[in-house]
Structure 1
């Protein structure tokens, strides 16, 4: 019997051909059918109604936060929708902090702070969108999740081949 979950919120170039491929394989081997939101399908700056509906209809969302995650306004919009659904009690959220410390996400530091500063130049310092993104990052940074620091491993034996 297959379980079903959604994997949202990952920044393709950071994780697509490394961590994400291992995660897909591991979930499949464990009989978990997972839908992976594809960055290749994104056209424009706003998330689509169908993606919002997919988030609302999911029961579990895995969010993979990487060093360059916050550079994507798409990922931040998607994360905001995920956190809204989580706050309503409709969604379990499991963050994976890939090469980024949870505290860097929770209280923006380093690459997350740099990305938000760049977004601020576009959307404005006092914009509702920027406040929503900051709140979503803070919330997900406070959730219990998994921290993957690949610099601690000499090889990828911690993942299934």
Structure 2
């Protein structure tokens, strides 16, 4: 099984996407599920690796912190950090 995860600037605004990412990353850890990330107009090192302190996801995660439990938001941040460590495809649209 393979999951292709496309991370874009608005990805962290979606609770559904973040919940699915947690599930995908858990399947990777527990079952060896393959994950291929596509970083579309986001940097895996700057935006995704440290989403709660800088980058395009910070504002969305700050908003989520006010509305959701610490555990839920922490699981999203952990999943984002984990996927940032996987080699994938980085797309910077220069059109």
Same fold per superposition (TM over 0.5): yes
How do 1:1-161 residues align onto structure 2 when only pairs under 5 Å count?
59-103=1-45, 104-108=47-51, 109-124=54-69, 127-151=70-94, 154=95
How many angstroms does 1:120 deviate by? 0.4
The separation in 2 between residues aligned to 1:72 and 1:89, in whole angstroms, is 25
Unaligned runs of 5+ in 2: none
* Deviations 1:117-148, CA, capped at 9 Å, x for gaps: 01001014xx1101100100000011111100
CA RMSD of aligned residues (A): 1.0
Higher RCO, 1 vs 2 (CA within 8 Å, ≥6 residues apart) = 2
How many angstroms does 1:85 deviate by? 0.2
How many angstroms does 1:79 deviate by? 0.1
- Higher Cα Rg: structure 1 or 2? 1
The separation in 1 between residues aligned to 2:86 and 2:31, in whole angstroms, is 14
The separation in 1 between residues aligned to 2:84 and 2:59, in whole angstroms, is 17
Secondary structure of residue in 2 paired with 1:88:
helix
Give the TM-score, by structure 2 length.
Answer: 0.91
The separation in 2 between residues aligned to 1:133 and 1:74, in whole angstroms, is 11
* Deviations 1:40-80, CA, capped at 9 Å, x for gaps: xxxxxxxxxxxxxxxxxxx0000000001001010000000
Extract structure 1 runs of 4+ deviating beyond 3 A.
none
Unaligned runs of 5+ in 1: 1-58, 155-161
How many residues align? The count is: 92
Contact 2:48–2:55 (Cα < 8 Å) also in 1:
no
